[in-house]
Amino acid sequence: MRKRIVSGAEALDLGLLHELVEPAGLMPAAMDLARELAEGPQVAMRFLKQSIYNAAEMTWAHSLDEIAAKTAVSDHHPDVREGIGAFREKRAPHFNKWIEELG
């Protein structure tokens, strides 16, 4: 396999980038993405992140089993009800209320 450097536009076309921004817009775009991720459903995102890391060391079948097990847990998490309710009510979801309740 031959290695080569690709441009930002080509990396975006290949799906290697989430977004392409000008240098001056980098920090605002990064902060917007960080805010979006921080406000998202933390349990589901942590499970997904673990599964991605673990997949490199697993067989395809084992990886699918792990994802299915984590999905079975996250599907019953309070964030799911919040997401469905927000969608039905046409409002932004307020995930992670359970974290506030722990404090």
Cα–Cα dist 82/57, whole Å: 34
Amino acid sitting at position 80: V
**What would the pLDDT profile of 5-51 be if each residue is shown by its tens digit?**
999 999 999 999 989 999 999 999 999 999 998 889 988 889 989 99
**What would the pLDDT profile of 62-96 be if each residue is shown by its tens digit?**
999 998 999 888 888 889 989 999 999 999 998 88
Distance from chain centroid for Cα 58: 21
- What integer best gives the mean pLDDT of the chain? 90
Measured distance between the N- and C-terminal CA atoms of the chain, rounded to whole angstroms? 52
Domains and CATH numbers, the chain: 1-38 (no CATH), 41-103 (1.10.12.10)
Distances (CA, A) of 3 to 12, 14, 56, 60, 61: 17, 15, 21, 26, 30
